[in-house]
Amino acid sequence: MVTGLVSYSILVERGFVGNDILGPIKPQVLPPDERPYQPQDFAPITSKPAEPVNIPKVLYLTELPEANYRLKRSIAIFLEQGQEGWLAFRDDVGIYSYGTTLDEAITNFVASLLDDYDLYTSSAQEELTEGAFNLANWLREVIERR
C-alpha cells in the first residue's frame, strides 16, 4: 500500500480533471524506480548552522540640526551594525556613512546629505551626470535652504 506518495506516483493517461469529452481519467501507479522524483521523508541536517541574516533598522529623520536647512518631509535612513561600528545609508540615492557609534553614523549621514545638497543643487544641469541630476532633484524634493 502506498501512502503519502500520491503526488509522486500517479500519471494521468488522458484527459483533464472534469473534462468529459476525453473520457474518464485513468490514474496509473508507477513502480518506485520509475517515479520522476523520489520523495524524502526527512530534512537534510547540516553540521554548520546557517549565517544569521542582518536586517537593516530604519530611522526616520524628521529635522536637521543645521538652522540653514529644513526638511520638507521625513527621510528614512537605514542602519546596519557591523563588527566595527554602524553604517547609515540610503541605497536609492547612494548616500552612505559610517560611525563607530550609532549617533556618529547618523551625524555623518546628515553631514553627507547636506554636503551633497550644497554640491549638487548649486551645479548647472549640464555639469551633472544623469545619476547626479536625479540625486539633485531628490535632494530638492526633501530639503530646502532657508
Domain ranges of the chain: 1-39, 57-145
Phi, psi of 21 (to 5 degrees): -65, -40
Q: What is the pTM of this model?
A: 0.62
| Residue-level pLDDT, tens digit, the chain, 146 residues | 444 443 333 333 444 444 444 445 455 566 666 665 555 555 555 666 666 666 778 999 999 988 899 999 999 999 998 888 999 999 989 999 999 999 999 999 999 999 999 999 999 989 999 999 999 999 999 999 98
Inter-residue contact 4 to 25 (CB < 8 Å): no
pLDDT of residue 116: 94
Tell me the residue length of the chain. 146
Closest to 29 in 3D by CA, of 8, 59, 44, 51 = 8
